[in-house]
Structure 1
Amino acid sequence: MTDCASPARRRLLVQSAALLPLVALAGCATPLGSYGVEEGVRRLLTLSSQRAFARLTEPGGFYDDQLTRLVLPETGGNDVLGAVLRTNAVRGRVAQALNDVAVDAADRATPVVLDSIRSLTLTDALAVLRGGPTAATDLLQRQVGGALVETMFPEFSAGLRSDTLEILTAIAGARTGIDYAALARTGAEQAGQAIFRAIGREEAAIRADPRSTRDPTLIALLSGASLVR
């Protein structure tokens, strides 16, 4: 029979085969196979993402965690509004509003992340297995980070216009002078980075203790991957 597989595909199969003895299911002689390696990495990222989003979408999910808290950017200008925005009390209230909007924006981000996970390939999976404690998250961020920001931007744009405007007009009596688009863009970018930090933290925890997941595929995959460097 003629081997019709492309050279690139054959290389992938050879690389995958090298991992099979290391990712056999615990107590079972049947290895995961190339599909199992892909599926295992998808499970790793899916579980990491689900855990991260479960935390982030709770009230105070961003603000209450130093790892994910969004920070209000410095505001220039010598006008009254600029001076007010530089006071700790007002900055704190606006920062809280920014983080509250991020909770709602994270809901928009969830399906974007999960859809991207489903598109992972064997090449991606093999690279992740040989990477560090957040290798899967780093790959995900490279693939979908920009799309995530664009997905969350409308939520920040709408949410900040209502929340911060109410705060600032009550204190400063001003309705102009705020670059809402820039603030919304900053919020969306910070939220995107915070989301991947949260996913990375969960991934590292799973890699450190795969048995805690009680998932045989993850246990087999990650116990074997720890030997592949």
Structure 2
Amino acid sequence: MTITAPITDRRTLLSGLALAPILALPGCASLPGFSLTEAIRELLTLSSQRAFALLLKPNGFYDSQVARIDLPPQLGGSGASSIVARVLLTGAFKTRLTKQVNSAAREGAERAAPLVADAIRSISIADAAAIVRGGPTAATDLLERAMGRSLVGAMFPGIDQGLRLADNAVVTEALRAATGIDFRGLVQDVSDRTHDSIYRAIAQEEAAIRANPRETGSPLLTAVFGLAR
């Protein structure tokens, strides 16, 4: 008795056989019916949209396991001296300041989101096949390399504004006297940390999509990343 595979399974098998030799060629970025380059752009677009949708919620940074911003050591974060932690940043005050820092990060991320979207549309992808068969965050790593630290400067004004509620004379002078960090230094530190948090959030979404591309409902992502695993 001859058993015939369902049409959909045969199509998947044939697509996989067609894709395998192409992925093995470093310089090839397309095959009949779809483009590996466009698949990477779609992957980054969806990953960044999902990441920003979470980060831009109220308390989005603070509630995130990968994006929450800790206070710098000078303000009682990891590595803070026992004196700073005991005198300035105990209990409710430290929690309020941490939430303020993460709220400011959200203000910065609002400015970053359109820049990331523009970068994805114009990003140069020299070896799409290598990104497709790369690690779980290969596309995000490419995006971060392409953008450099450009998000930091773009986010600085938003983060500066977001931190102003904590910039009253008593708090600012107390922190400066106890830690040696001024307000501009705090804004710069939070901007740097926000930059890193954004890419961690995008990378997390990319890894999730690669692990289950069918969940996206995208035929392109399902075809490329489903068969490349």
Q: Do Structure 1 and Structure 2 share a fold, with TM-score over 0.5?
A: yes
CA-based RMSD: 2.9
Q: C-alpha distance in 2, partners of 1:15/1:69?
A: 37
> Aligned residue for 1:46?
45
Separation in structure 2 between the aligned mates of residue 147 and residue 173 of structure 1, nearest angstrom = 31
What fraction of aligned residue pairs are identical, expressed as a percent? Answer: 44
Q: SS of the counterpart of 2:60? A: coil
Q: Contact conserved, 1:74 with 1:86, CA < 8 A, in 2?
A: no
CA distance in 2, matches of 1:210, 1:185: 37
Q: How does 1:15-30 map to 2 (within 5 A)?
A: 15=26, 17=28, 20=31, 30=32
Alpha-carbon distance in 2 for matches of 1:175, 1:185: 16
Unaligned runs of 5+ in 1: 1-13, 21-29
- Answer yes or no: is the 8 Å Cα contact 1:40–1:218 preserved in 2: yes
Compare relative contact order (CA 8 Å, sep 6+) and give the higher one, 1 or 2.
1
Aligned mates of 2:115, 2:97 — CA distance in 1: 27
Aligned to 1:150: 153
Deviation at 1:102, TM superposition (A): 1.0
SS of equivalent residue, structure 1 residue 44: helix
Report the Cα offset of residue 158 of structure 1.
2.6
Structure 1 position 124, deviation (Å): 4.5
CA distance in 1, matches of 2:228, 2:45: 18
Give the 3 Å change call, closer, same or farther, for CA 203–175 of structure 1 in structure 2.
closer
Structure 2 counterpart of 1:130: 133
- Structure 2 portions without partners, runs of 5+: 1-24
* Deviation of 1:89 (Å): 2.9
Whether the 8 Å CA contact 2:59–2:102 is kept in 1: the answer is yes
Q: What are the within-5 Å matches in structure 2 for residues 173-192 of structure 1? A: 177=177, 179-192=182-195
Query: What TM-score do you get using the length of structure 1 for normalisation?
Result: 0.76
Q: Deviations over 1:24-60 (max 9, x none)?
A: xxxxxx442xxx1111110000000000000000000
Question: Matched residue of 2:134: which SS?
Answer: coil
Partner of 1:97: 100
Alignment pair present for 1:165 and 2:167: yes
**Cα offset, 1:175, TM superposition:** 9.1
TM-score (normalised: structure 2): 0.76
How far the C-alpha of 1:96 sits from its partner, in A, is 0.8
Note if contact 1:102-1:187 (Cα within 8 Å) is conserved in structure 2. Answer: yes
